[in-house]
Amino acid sequence: MSVPAGVFGGEWHEHDDRWTAVDKYTQSHLHPSTKPYHAALNAALEHSRDKGLPDIATHPVFSKAMALQCLARGVENALEVGTLGGYTSIWIASMNPNIHVDAIEVDPMHAKVANENLERAGVHDRVKITIGEGLDVLPKMLDGVEKGTRAPIGFTYIDADKENNWAYFDLAVKMSSAGALIYVDNIVQRGNIVMEDDTDDGVLGARELVERVGKDPRVEAVVQQTVAEKSYDGFLMAVVL
Ligand code: DHB
Ligand code: MG
C-alpha cells in the first residue's frame, strides 16, 4: 500500500530509506491495491489530511497487525482509545466482519472526520465513536461491563493523550476478558524512553506505563520496538491473565 503523499511525510518522523523500501516491498505483496479495503483506507488518510488532522495516524503495517490479532483471537468486541480519523478502526473492522469496535475520541472535529471515513469504508455500523474524554467515557463503559449490560473487551488499542496511558490501561484491564490483548502506541519514542532527562509528556507517560505494567499481576506484557516508513517507535502489548 502506498501511503498518500504528505500523510506520513512530517519532518518530525524519523525516516530511513531502508525502512521505507522494505515497507513498500512487503506491503505491495501483502496488501496490494487490488485488495477490497485498499481504496477506503487510503481515502481515510487523504480525507483526514485534507481536513487538517495531525499526521499521526497509526502506520498501515501496525494497524493491520492489530487487525490480524483480532482475527486470530476471534475478537467480537474491541476498544480504541483515541481514534483520530478512525484509520485503525477501519483496518480492524475490515479484517473482522463480525467485530464491534467502541472508539473514543475527545475532539468532535476529529470524530466527524472519522465518521465520514467509517461511512466511506462501509464499516460505520460496526464502529461506534463516543465523543469525550477517555477518563469520563471509560468508567461508564466499565460500569456496563460490571453490570453485565456490556460485553467484555477482547482487544484494546490505546493511542491517546500519553499522560493518561496508565489510567486507560488500568480501566481497559478491568473491562477485558481473560486472554484479551491490550496494545499501547508510542512507547519507544525514538529511543527517548531511556533518556532520563527527557521529561516530555509522551516519554513520561510511556515510562510510567512500562514500570507499572511490569508490577501488575493482572497481565504479562512486552514492548516491541518498531521501524517503518513513518518512524522509530514501539508498542507495549499485554495479555490479560
Ligand atoms: C505522534 C505519533 C503518534 O502515534 C501519536 O499517537 C502522537 C504523536 C508524533 O509523532 O508526534
Ligand atoms: Mg500513536
Find the 227 Cα to ligand 2 centroid distance in Å. 14
Ligand nearest to the CA of 157: 2
Residue nearest to atom 1 of ligand 1 (CA): 56
How many Å separate Cα 55 from the centre of its chain? 14
Tens digit of pLDDT per residue, the chain (241 long)? 455 655 676 777 788 999 999 999 999 999 999 999 999 999 999 999 999 999 999 999 999 999 999 999 999 999 999 999 999 999 999 999 999 999 999 999 999 999 999 999 999 999 999 999 999 999 999 999 999 999 999 999 999 999 999 999 999 999 999 999 999 999 999 999 999 999 999 999 999 999 999 999 999 999 999 999 888 999 999 999 9
107 alpha carbon – ligand 2 mean position (Å): 15
pTM value > 0.85:
yes
Ligand number nearest to the C-alpha of 201: 1
Lining residues, ligand 1, CB within 6 Å: 12, 56, 159, 185-186
Going by C-alpha positions, the residue among 181, 190, 130 that lies closest to residue 160 is 130
How far, in Å, CA of 67 to CA of 49, rounded?
23
Q: Which ligand ends up closest to the CA of 162?
A: 1
Question: For residue 19, how far is its CA from the centre of ligand 1 (angstroms)?
Answer: 18
What phi and psi values does residue 207 have, to the nearest 5 degrees?
Answer: -65, -45
Q: How far apart are CA 139 and CA 116, in angstroms?
A: 27
